[in-house]
Amino acid sequence: MNTARAWGIARSLVIYYGQPWKRRRMDRLYRTFIAPGELCFDVGSHVGNRVASWRRLGARVVAIEPQPDFLAILHRLFDADEMVQILGIGLAERPGHLDLRISTAAPTVSTFSREWIESVGAHPKFSGVDWDRTVQVEVRTLDQLIAEHGVPAFCKIDVEGFEGAVLRGLTQPLPALSFELLPMARGAGIACVEHLMSLAPYRFRTSVQETMRFTEPDWVDADALLRHIEALPQNARSGDVYAATATRVAHLQAAER
């Protein structure tokens, strides 16, 4: 393994496991959505910090990770846990095979989306990033995953601009989910909102980067979220959009009182 590749892996492990004080905050946020014994999908598991959190909450987890290096880490961390199933695949709009473009030095931004690379590649924040490796990966759909494993109580999607393609492989509403939002590529986030609203009347909240805290005091409708996304500066920090069906929101609001 070359130096850049080893550094990229080490950097990811430090980012996601090197700040243990964030664990309580993460568990507290996900406890809102996940009860013991419930099923969760982690699409883009990377080094598995969400998997670890959900297991602390007693959930069953299907972890999806197409990058070979991080797939190996997931197997090392969770193979002994019968409540975790690890799949070395990607998810997309339809099943098949796709090229995964990997950044050796910054593997957190590896992606299936060539359009996303073109969109963010010109931004100064990504000026030093080189997507220098390509591997072909099997992809399935969220619908297939549900047929195989059941409907998840929560699904996290963090796949660097490919979130819209993942959601287009879903034809039924999920109770709750999250997807990554990058302001410099906000079109991908807008497409996710539009697809979700075609499935059910979802409500939304956002969280900036890894703060594990909601930005809004309460759930908002799609129009309010879209206005928020459109108003974000290009250099605003990335984050996650959390979505829940109206029925699920009513339950969450009652639990928060």
- Angle at the Cα of 226 (from 205 to 161), degrees rounded to 5? 80
Average pLDDT over residues 159-171: 96
Q: Name 164's Cβ contacts closer than 8 Å, sequence gap at least 6.
A: 188, 191, 192, 195
pLDDT over threshold 90, residue 199: yes
Strand partners, 138: 97
pLDDT of residue 135: 96
Q: Is 209 exposed, middle or buried, given 0-12, 13-18 or 19+ CB atoms closer than 10 A?
A: exposed
Q: Name 39's Cβ contacts closer than 8 Å, sequence gap at least 6.
A: 59, 60, 61, 62, 149, 150, 151, 152, 153
pLDDT over threshold 70, residue 10: no
pLDDT of residue 15: 65
The model carries a pTM of 0.92
pLDDT band of residue 226 (cuts 50, 70, 90) is very high
pLDDT over threshold 70, residue 1: no
The better pLDDT of the pair 20, 227 is held by 227
Average pLDDT over residues 52-67: 97
DSSP state at residue 237:
P
Q: What is the mean pLDDT of the chain?
A: 92
Q: Rg of the Cα trace of the chain?
A: 17
Provide the CATH number for the domain formed by 3-256 in this structure: 3.40.50.150
| CB-based contact 179:163 (threshold 8 Å) | yes
pLDDT tens column, 17-38: 777 778 889 999 999 999 999 9
Residue type, 170: L
Out of 109-123, 143-157, 167-181, 234-248, pick the least confident: 109-123
